[in-house]
Amino acid sequence: MTRLELEAWGATQATGLDQSDVRALAASRAVDVSPGWQAGTWTVRASSFVGVLRAGETEIRIRPRIPVARLLYLLGYAQNPRVWTEDPVDLDDQPDLWPAMAQVFVRQAEKATERGILQGYRTEESALPVLRGRLRAADQLRTRAGIATPLELRYDEYDVDVPENQILRAAAERLLKSPDHPPVIVRRLRHLISRLHDVGRLVPGQRLPHVTQSRLNQHYQPALTLARMVLATRSIDIANAGVRATGFLVNMNTAFEDFVTTALTQALQTSGGRCAPQDQSHPMDEDGAIRLRPDLVWYAPSGAVRAVVDAKYKAESPAGFPYADLYQLLAYCTATALRIGHLVYAEGDADQSPVMVRNSDIVIRRHVLQLHRPVPELQAQVATLARDIAHQGDFSAR
């Protein structure tokens, strides 16, 4: 087994890669594999994904540039800011994402279920030989006209097969498939799944069932937040030329964008109006054919646009198009008729000077969030950014 380790957007040289493994890795789109300078070598370059990727006899571990505990905080806060307010504890010695995620999840799931598995009512529709609940008369006449039994019924069932437990089971089974958990974590995951054996499995790829938060399931919320994080990550399982590539990956771009969107939405609530993530209501052209989708648009109570924000985990400098982020925000400002737009980066060395657009009154403000700082300081950075946006939003419209 060839094992490679690198950071997001990093690169490393590898030898001994089989051609079929190279093709399978390239098909995953999580890494780029190209011939190296020397014969028999390959350059493996990571993109924005972190986690574990395997193809044949090759395993690639891609680590985030920030501590794993901080990445879990970003993911958790984006899922549920009311629940996830601090870094997970006891993860300082855990450099790999998936073992860390499994450790935190199983801890919260065990805590949630220590008083017993949550039960609730769910509505069932089925044919039974005896009357139970309510008769579905229309279905009975349509499918069994003139036949006394079975009866087409609708009734309420009270058991453990409720959405909360379905989500926990799906996350535990997903984690159990990911590699390199400590044996104690594997045993705890299997024990959790065995306790949920009467809970139905979710269909892969379908939307997660809706869970209404209440006092009855309040103690489940931290575990459910983690479970959604697990199930939202990208899973790769493809076959290419007979070689199977599998992966459990998190997109750092998406993680940062979701965190900034959620955090600013929370922080701007005190200034009134509403925030619209991924808003597509401001096309670039008059015909509405070219759709734009800023990460966040902030509206005044009157409905007027007050600010537009785009988040980038890493400043992009693609060859031949080095200022793509600025061009993108310029289009957002033009389409929303704003004088000021905001770019939020996570790179500590990103240029923070404002960009005054020539022959225009548009100004693009660039901000940086230092993700490595303690959580209270990171939260203070977001609050300062929200105040800046709110202040400038008072006179940013053209």
Tell me how far apart the alpha carbons of residues 52 and 341 are, in angstroms, rounded to a whole number.
36
Regarding whether 168 and 210 lie in a shared domain, the answer is: yes
State the residue for tokens 């093709």: 23
Regarding whether 385 and 323 lie in a shared domain, the answer is: yes
- How many domains does the chain divide into? 4
What is the maximal distance between C-alpha atoms in the chain? Answer: 81
Residue 338 DSSP code: B
* Residue 305 pLDDT: 94
Contact 176, 109 (CB under 8 A): no
pLDDT in tens, 147-202: 767 767 675 677 899 999 999 999 999 999 887 788 999 999 999 999 999 999 99
**Does residue 126 have a pLDDT over 90?**
no
Regarding whether 178 and 40 lie in a shared domain, the answer is: no
Regarding whether 151 and 6 lie in a shared domain, the answer is: no
Q: Return the sign of the alpha-carbon dihedral for residues 224, 229, 230, 231.
A: positive
Q: Is 266 part of any domain?
A: no
* Residue 23 pLDDT: 83
Q: Is 259 part of any domain?
A: no
Tell me how far apart the alpha carbons of residues 317 and 345 are, in angstroms, rounded to a whole number.
13
Regarding whether 350 and 218 lie in a shared domain, the answer is: no
Owning domain of residue 72? 68-117+162-232
Neighbour count for residue 131 (Cβ, 10 Å):
11
Average pLDDT, the chain: 87
Regarding whether 206 and 245 lie in a shared domain, the answer is: no
Neighbour count for residue 22 (Cβ, 10 Å):
22
Distances (CA, A) of 184 to 99, 114, 176: 11, 18, 12
Regarding whether 226 and 298 lie in a shared domain, the answer is: no
Query: With bands split at pLDDT 50, 70 and 90, how would you rate the model's confidence at 140?
Result: low
Tell me how far apart the alpha carbons of residues 80 and 62 are, in angstroms, rounded to a whole number.
26
Mean pLDDT of 208-233: 91
Regarding whether 383 and 290 lie in a shared domain, the answer is: yes
Q: Is 254 part of any domain?
A: no
Contact 366, 354 (CB under 8 A): yes
* Residue 256 pLDDT: 96
Mean pLDDT of 130-150: 71
Regarding whether 308 and 180 lie in a shared domain, the answer is: no
Of 237-246, 261-270, 305-314, 335-344, which range is least confident?
237-246
Regarding whether 39 and 25 lie in a shared domain, the answer is: yes
Query: What b/e sequence results for 85-104 when a residue is b if at least 16 CB atoms lie within 10 Å of its CB, and e otherwise?
Result: eebbeebeebebbbbbbbbb
Query: With bands split at pLDDT 50, 70 and 90, how would you rate the model's confidence at 145?
Result: confident
Tell me how far apart the alpha carbons of residues 159 and 162 are, in angstroms, rounded to a whole number.
7
**Does residue 94 have a pLDDT over 80?**
no
* Residue 17 pLDDT: 84
Q: Is 49 part of any domain?
A: yes
Query: With bands split at pLDDT 50, 70 and 90, how would you rate the model's confidence at 204?
Result: confident
pLDDT in tens, 14-55: 888 888 888 888 888 889 998 888 888 899 999 899 999 888
pLDDT in tens, 281-335: 999 999 999 999 999 999 999 999 999 999 999 866 655 567 889 999 999 999 9
* Residue 93 pLDDT: 59
Regarding whether 209 and 189 lie in a shared domain, the answer is: yes
Query: With bands split at pLDDT 50, 70 and 90, how would you rate the model's confidence at 142?
Result: confident
Regarding whether 183 and 89 lie in a shared domain, the answer is: yes
Q: Is 286 part of any domain?
A: yes
